[in-house]
Amino acid sequence: MTVSAPPTIDALVDAVATSAPAPLRIAGGGTSRPRSAAAEAPGDAVLDLCALAGITAYDPAECVVTVLAGTPVRQLADALAAHGQYLPWDPPIASAEATVGGMIATGVSGPGRYRYGGVRDFVIGARVVDGRGRLIASGGQVVKNAAGFLLHHALVGSAGRLGVIAEVSLKVFPRPEATRTLVVRTGSLAEALGAHERLRLANLDLDALDLDAASATVSARLAGAADALDARADRAIGVAGRAADTCTGTAEAQHWQSQSLASWPLAGATVKVPATPSGLAAVLDTLAPFGPCRVSVGGAVVYLHTPQAMDAIDAALIAQHRVGAVVRGTGAGTRLGVRPSPAFADRVRATLDPDGRFR
Amino acid sequence: MDLATALAAIYPPDRLLTRASALAAYESDALTAFRTRPRAVVLAETRQEVIDTVRLCHAAGVPFVARGSGTSLSGGSVPLDDGIVIALNRLNRIVRLDPVDRIAVVEPGVINLDISAAAEPFGLYYAPDPSSQSVCTIGGNVAFNSGGAHCFRHGMTANHVLGLEVVLPDGAVVRLGGDSVEDVGPDLAGLFVGSEGLFGVALEVTVRLLPRPESYRTVLASYTSLQAAGDAVTRIIAAGLLPGAMEIMDRLAMDAAEAAVHAGYPPGAAAVLLVELEGDAAQTGAELGRLRAVLDASGPSHIHVAASADERALLWKGRKCAFSAVGRLSPDFIVQDGVVPRTKLGDALVAIEQLSRQHGVRVANVFHAGDGNLHPLILYDGREHGALERAEALATDILRLCIRLGGSITGEHGVGLEKRAFLPEMYRPEDMAFMQRLREAVDGRRLANRGKMLETPA
Ligand SMILES: Cc1cc2nc3c(=O)[nH]c(=O)nc-3n(C[C@H](O)[C@H](O)[C@H](O)COP(=O)(O)OP(=O)(O)OC[C@H]3O[C@@H](n4cnc5c(N)ncnc54)[C@H](O)[C@@H]3O)c2cc1C
Ligand SMILES: Cc1cc2nc3c(=O)[nH]c(=O)nc-3n(C[C@H](O)[C@H](O)[C@H](O)COP(=O)(O)OP(=O)(O)OC[C@H]3O[C@@H](n4cnc5c(N)ncnc54)[C@H](O)[C@@H]3O)c2cc1C
């Protein structure tokens, strides 16, 4: 097994080309699963992207940033924050080592996706190295662009199977002036689901809406002009129909951290199941036997933390006609539930990885 | 069995057009400079008919092009003379509109605005709003990743399509994406969007619906120069505001719009900037104060806040009809579509003015300023000798300007036939080679919309 950590895109292109025909494993920050010798066969070539780091271009007035794939997400977030901007999909960056490439490859969005969309909605261009060491660019550095195939869209969620993401361009937004979070603690899951649904359907312009099933707690975040937040919070509390605590600042950040996957132990596995609000109760019913569940993005996704093997979960999801994936821990990257029709996916993959090197 | 006989077995005679007079309407799209009479047009009414037609074409090696309403401005729906047109206008059912999950599942021939009309009773709407939204279809929008006035904040069509059912060029039927805004695996629906019909025909589209903002605050600011209007946009973003839309029109475009709808644009101004805030009423109220302060400092000659919903509607009506209204100023015009980084809008406008003088061709400017999307309307009189050539030369110069400034040759109208030659100026040979390989992998016989976006290799 050889490991290389190319510091430039040229070196990356070279590393992919010269290691042919060895199978390739792409490693970002390793936060979805620790790199393990067990998974890596002796003949594999490991590409460690962490050295390919840095912000290539950032003009705050443009609201566009171009960044190398190995850049830690936190470093990017800090650079944006210095200019009053942010990644609106709110990637879970608690773990400082997660990289921008890993974020794109796993297609991960946080609770903030609720308002303006997820990582897929903000990637406007990319440079990627295919399985034969060819550098391919798609999109660009402007927020509106309809020229050519939009390959950068397909990289979102590609899990390292379509190519090595070398660099991406992202649209970013001005950070809201202030935020405030309502925490609604209810007595039962049914009650929590009721409050969640009322908050979702009222026209409150919420920034985030999550639900923790185990503690029957609903969290709703408001974001915007500081002088409008009192009025907006009062309205939201009225809609929640229950006593709600509000928090801001450090307490607010801590609260969201406590609701994130970071609060679940690394042991075991975290499973992601895309959902719809009307099917939410059924998805929770299906998953609850396997471990604690959290709902994020206003019911669009359920996360399950489980120590169990995946077979039963896989079967349960198939029975419900749902898709899923392991996103953290043992078996991270494994697809679960209904498998998509392969005809189109296979052709895209064969184009980018004709020799089947990406593992 | 030959193709004609096989098609006749699927379609009754009134839905299989082969006579010259019937085919005429399908020879071109909204870019009328390109015109070709197809071998036949089929008017599909069911998904299965589309699938069967694609399979027949594949078996016979005959190229086909899907067609929505034919409003493409890049020649995207122009057929080949030996090809088949699959017209999808009658495949226009809204299969499901779910106000709880806030999604709509629609057939490809559904008109963009009809989705919002159906969603309206539930306080929802479909966000992408091309100016042609009252006629263009969702299938066409998917093919071109169509935009509109709200793309900086809300994104383009790709950001609103959650799932697709597609018949690939060899007749295989696949589902891409799903019914949730979250997904696992590569975003293949996002790759299909913008593929200009080269990856096959979309049979069903699942889109997300947004709640109608509780309030809008619409402000019109006028300026004595185009550049000042462009600079104001940069100041608004720098102030941390995130308006739903920012649109600029120059004098010529305003005159045209005024003549058509009397929108009340101020006489004498060189440019107007239309800014719209949207969202929670308390929030937009607070933002309006900040916006006023920014605009006041941007040197406007006049600022006007729409006082009523009717006034807002009128300001927008003027903007949305600007393209067609320009027809009143000039017998012929080319709608150009290019993108520059937003901070280079001012430079781009100055350069376009210079080019316009240089070529001796008038240009009216209407654009989506929030996302740097220029729509210069190049005016000419086709009866005048050499006028079309001069207009086209100017259009070409504007595209090269966009590339030079780090932008794109199209923000929303697509490459189609019109801009095929420019795509390789924007991308490197390696990138073009990849696009060709991907196309070949999906459609080895190059039957789906052959001749568009990518030049056919010799
Ligand atoms: C605290 C915490 C919270 C999390 N919360 C969530 C959550 O809410 N939702 C969720 O879905 N996930 C969540 N995750 C999982 C998270 O998405 C991943 O851990 C993270 O995005 C992976 O980034 P990484 O740089 O560590 O990549 P790695 O873990 O190293 O790699 C992840 C995958 O991406 C591929 N990859 C990495 N870099 C590249 C590249 N440059 N080009 C191509 N492929 C590449 C790898 O091959 C691998 O398949 C969480 C993880 C942590 C630690
Ligand atoms: C006055 C005017 C204003 C306009 N304003 C805007 C604007 O603001 N923003 C904007 O983005 N565009 C605008 N357009 C351009 C045009 O309306 C859009 O490109 C629209 O999406 C085309 O839709 P259509 O139904 O007319 O498609 P068509 O013109 O029929 O087809 C367009 C392309 O889509 C393909 N296609 C159609 N249906 C399918 C399908 N089901 N599956 C696969 N491929 C398919 C066709 O093959 C063709 O390549 C404007 C056009 C006009 C005439």
Closest atom, ligand 1, to C-alpha of A325: 11
Is A42 a member of any domain? Answer: yes
Looking at per-residue confidence, does B18 or B329 come out higher? B18
**How crowded is residue A24: how many other Cβ atoms within 10 Å of its Cβ?**
23
pLDDT higher than 60, residue B273: yes
Query: CA of A171, closest CA in chain B: separation in Å?
Result: 9
Angle, CA of B294, B300 and B301, to the nearest 5°: 150
Query: CA of B283, closest CA in chain A: separation in Å?
Result: 6
Same domain, A197 and A274: no
> What ligand has the least distance to the C-alpha of A126?
1
Mark residue B388 as left, alpha or beta (left: phi above 0; alpha: psi -120 to 50; beta: remaining).
alpha
> Which of B27, B47, B71, B193 for a ligand 2 pocket mutation test, highest count of atoms within 8 Å of Cβ?
B71
Q: Say if residues B376 and B348 touch (Cβ distance below 8 Å).
A: no
User: Chain A: residue nearest B187 by CA?
Assistant: A154
User: Chain A: residue nearest B343 by CA?
Assistant: A62
Give the pLDDT band of residue B457 (cuts 50, 70, 90): low
> Which of A47, A108, A264 for a ligand 1 pocket mutation test, highest count of atoms within 8 Å of Cβ?
A108
Same domain, A62 and A169: yes
Is A353 a member of any domain? Answer: no
Q: Which amino acid is at A260?
A: S
Is B44 a member of any domain? Answer: yes
3-state secondary structure of B110: coil
Closest atom, ligand 1, to C-alpha of A358: 47
Is A352 a member of any domain? Answer: no
Structure tokens at A200: 């979702």
B-proximal residues of A, 155-214, CB under 8 Å: 155-159, 161-162, 173-175, 177, 201, 203-205
Span A161-207, pLDDT tens digits: 999 999 999 999 999 999 999 999 999 999 999 999 999 999 999 99
CATH code, domain carrying B274:
3.30.70.2190
Structural domain range at position A231: 178-258
Test A140 with B343 for CB contact under 8 angstroms: no
Q: Say if residues B40 and B16 touch (Cβ distance below 8 Å).
A: yes
pLDDT for the residue A266: 83
Give the pLDDT band of residue A99 (cuts 50, 70, 90): very high
CA dihedral B446, B449, B452, B458 (to 10 degrees): 30
Gap between the Cα atoms of A337 and B430, Å rounded: 37
Question: Span B313-336, mean pLDDT?
Answer: 86
Q: Report chain B residues whose CB lies below 8 A from the CB of A143.
A: 151-152, 342, 371-372
Same domain, B192 and B223: no
Nearest CB to B175; choose among A204, A335, A340: A340
ipTM: 0.97
DSSP notation for B283-312: HHHHHHHHHHHHHHTT--SEEEE--SHHHH
Which residues does a 6 A CB cutoff place in the pocket of ligand 2?
A: B 29-30, 65-73, 76-77, 88, 108, 130-132, 136-137, 139-141, 143-144, 146-148, 196-197, 201-202, 323-324, 412-413, 449, 452
Among B87, B106, B124, the domain-final residue is B87
Query: CA of B74, closest CA in chain A: separation in Å?
Result: 12
Is A193 a member of any domain? Answer: yes
Structural domain range at position B198: 94-211
> What ligand has the least distance to the C-alpha of A331?
1
Would strands A178-185 and A208-212 be described as parallel, antiparallel, or unpaired? unpaired
Lowest mean pLDDT among B134-138, B156-160, B233-237, B401-405: B233-237
Same domain, B314 and B339: no
Question: Span B357-370, mean pLDDT?
Answer: 93
Distance of CA B149 to the CA centre of its chain: 10
Gap between the Cα atoms of B101 and A276, Å rounded: 6
Gap between the Cα atoms of B326 and A205, Å rounded: 38
pLDDT higher than 90, residue B31: no
CATH code, domain carrying A208:
3.30.70.2190
CB contacts < 8 A, A to B, total 265
> What ligand has the least distance to the C-alpha of B166?
2
Gap between the Cα atoms of A249 and A181, Å rounded: 10
Test B145 with A150 for CB contact under 8 angstroms: yes
Gap between the Cα atoms of B85 and B97, Å rounded: 29
Characterize B221-260 residue by residue with b for buried, 16 or more Cβ atoms within 10 angstroms of its Cβ, and e for exposed: bbbebbbbbbbbbbebbbbbbbbbbbbbbbbbbbbbbbeb
Burial environment of residue B20 by CB neighbours within 10 A (0 to 12, 13 to 18, 19 or more): exposed
Helix (H) or strand (E) holding B418: none
Test A146 with B371 for CB contact under 8 angstroms: no
CATH code, domain carrying A76:
3.30.465.10
Characterize B364-393 residue by residue with b for buried, 16 or more Cβ atoms within 10 angstroms of its Cβ, and e for exposed: bbbbbbbbbbbbbbbbbeeeeeebbeebbb
Same domain, A144 and A205: no
| Sign, Cα dihedral of B321, B324, B326, B329 | negative
CA dihedral B107, B108, B109, B115 (to 10 degrees): 70
Test B186 with A272 for CB contact under 8 angstroms: no
Gap between the Cα atoms of A335 and A350, Å rounded: 19
Angle, CA of B64, B67 and B69, to the nearest 5°: 165
Nearest CB to A347; choose among B213, B214, B442: B442
pLDDT higher than 80, residue B105: yes
CA dihedral B284, B290, B296, B302 (to 10 degrees): 0
Closest atom, ligand 1, to C-alpha of A94: 1
Give the pLDDT band of residue B63 (cuts 50, 70, 90): very high
Gap between the Cα atoms of B339 and B411, Å rounded: 6
Same domain, B98 and B204: yes
> What ligand has the least distance to the C-alpha of B87?
2
Gap between the Cα atoms of B19 and B281, Å rounded: 57
Q: Report chain A residues whose CB lies below 8 A from the CB of B438.
A: 149, 151, 347-348, 351
Is A357 a member of any domain? Answer: no
Would strands A301-306 and A178-185 be described as parallel, antiparallel, or unpaired? unpaired
pLDDT for the residue B323: 78
3-state secondary structure of A199: helix
Q: Say if residues B186 and A155 touch (Cβ distance below 8 Å).
A: yes
Same domain, B180 and B268: no
Question: Span B431-457, mean pLDDT?
Answer: 94
Strands lying side by side in the sheet with B84-87:
B16-17, B40-43, B84-87, B64-67
Q: Report chain A residues whose CB lies below 8 A from the CB of B242.
A: 173-174
Cα–ligand 1 centroid distance for A108 (angstroms): 7
Q: How many domains is chain A partitioned into structurally?
A: 4
Cα–ligand 2 centroid distance for B11 (angstroms): 25
Give the pLDDT band of residue B458 (cuts 50, 70, 90): low
Among A198, A225, A258, the domain-final residue is A258
**How crowded is residue B445: how many other Cβ atoms within 10 Å of its Cβ?**
14
pLDDT for the residue B166: 98
Of chain A, the percentage scoring pLDDT greater than 70 comes to 97
Terminal C-alpha separation, chain A: 14
Residue with tokens 């070949």: B440
Q: Report chain B residues whose CB lies below 8 A from the CB of A275.
A: 180, 182
Gap between the Cα atoms of B149 and B140, Å rounded: 17
Same domain, B344 and B289: no
Is there a cis peptide before residue A21, judged by omega within 30 degrees of 0?
yes
Gap between the Cα atoms of B208 and B153, Å rounded: 15
**How crowded is residue B406: how many other Cβ atoms within 10 Å of its Cβ?**
16
How would you write A284-322 as a 3-class SS string? HHHHHHHCCEEEEHHHCEEEEEECCCCHHHHHHHHHCCC
pLDDT higher than 80, residue B456: no
> Which of B42, B64, B144, B439 for a ligand 2 pocket mutation test, highest count of atoms within 8 Å of Cβ?
B144
Among A174, A199, A232, the domain-final residue is A174
Span A238-287, pLDDT tens digits: 999 878 899 999 999 999 999 999 889 888 999 999 999 999 999 999 99
Is A344 a member of any domain? Answer: no
Question: Span A286-297, mean pLDDT?
Answer: 97
Residue with tokens 């997820």: A118
**How crowded is residue A296: how many other Cβ atoms within 10 Å of its Cβ?**
29
CA atoms within 13 A on the CB side of B378: 28
Give the pLDDT band of residue A42 (cuts 50, 70, 90): confident
User: Chain A: residue nearest B141 by CA?
Assistant: A146
Gap between the Cα atoms of B180 and A68, Å rounded: 30
Same domain, B188 and B175: yes
Same domain, A269 and A253: no
Residue with tokens 């085919």: B23
Say whether pTM exceeds 0.95: yes
Gap between the Cα atoms of B205 and A342, Å rounded: 19
Is B434 a member of any domain? Answer: no
Rg of chain B over all Cα atoms, to the nearest angstrom: 22
Gap between the Cα atoms of A105 and A156, Å rounded: 5
pLDDT for the residue A93: 76
Structure tokens at B458: 């010799």
User: Chain B: residue nearest A121 by CA?
Assistant: B159
pLDDT higher than 90, residue A330: no
Same domain, A227 and A275: no
pLDDT higher than 70, residue B16: yes
Same domain, B164 and B110: yes
CATH code, domain carrying A297:
3.30.70
User: Chain A: residue nearest B412 by CA?
Assistant: A146
Residue with tokens 């190229």: B63
Gap between the Cα atoms of A109 and A121, Å rounded: 10
pLDDT for the residue A39: 65
B-proximal residues of A, 226-285, CB under 8 Å: 227-228, 231-232, 272, 274-279
Total number of residues shown for chain B: 458
Q: Does A318 touch chain B (CB under 8 A)?
A: no
Of A133, A167, A166, A128, nearest to A149 by C-alpha is A128
Q: How many domains is chain B partitioned into structurally?
A: 4
Average pLDDT, chain B: 94
Rg of chain A over all Cα atoms, to the nearest angstrom: 21
Of B100, B41, B42, B174, nearest to B442 by C-alpha is B174
Same domain, A67 and A99: yes
Same domain, B312 and B379: no
Query: CA of B145, closest CA in chain A: separation in Å?
Result: 6
Lowest mean pLDDT among A88-92, A172-176, B104-108, B290-294: A88-92
Nearest CB to A340; choose among B185, B428, B430: B185
Query: Which ranges of B180-307 would DSSP assign to H, the alpha helix?
Result: 188-192, 226-238, 251-261, 281-296
Query: Which ranges of A4-137 would DSSP assign to H, the alpha helix?
Result: 9-18, 73-81, 100-106, 113-116
CATH code, domain carrying B203:
3.30.465.10
Nearest CB to A351; choose among B280, B430, B441: B441
Query: CA of B109, closest CA in chain A: separation in Å?
Result: 21
Q: At what angle do helices A189-201 and A229-240 cross, to 10 degrees?
A: 130
Nearest CB to A137; choose among B98, B101, B427: B427
Residue with tokens 């998805």: A283
Structure tokens at A77: 């977030």
Gap between the Cα atoms of B315 and B267, Å rounded: 14
Distance of CA B302 to the CA centre of its chain: 31
Among B192, B211, B230, the domain-final residue is B211
Is B433 a member of any domain? Answer: no
Same domain, A254 and A267: no
Whether the CB of A327 sits within 6 Å of ligand 1: yes
Looking at per-residue confidence, does B78 or B259 come out higher? B78
Structure tokens at A14: 């070279």
User: E strands within A193-280?
Assistant: 208-212, 217-224, 244-247, 269-274
Is A26 a member of any domain? Answer: yes
Give the pLDDT band of residue B258 (cuts 50, 70, 90): confident
CATH code, domain carrying B48:
3.30.43.10
Is B444 a member of any domain? Answer: no
Q: What is the DSSP letter of B359?
A: H
Structure tokens at B367: 């654009």
Is B413 a member of any domain? Answer: no
Of B68, B61, B63, B14, nearest to B36 by C-alpha is B63
**How crowded is residue B65: how many other Cβ atoms within 10 Å of its Cβ?**
26
pLDDT higher than 70, residue A155: yes
Gap between the Cα atoms of A209 and A192, Å rounded: 12
Same domain, B309 and B400: no
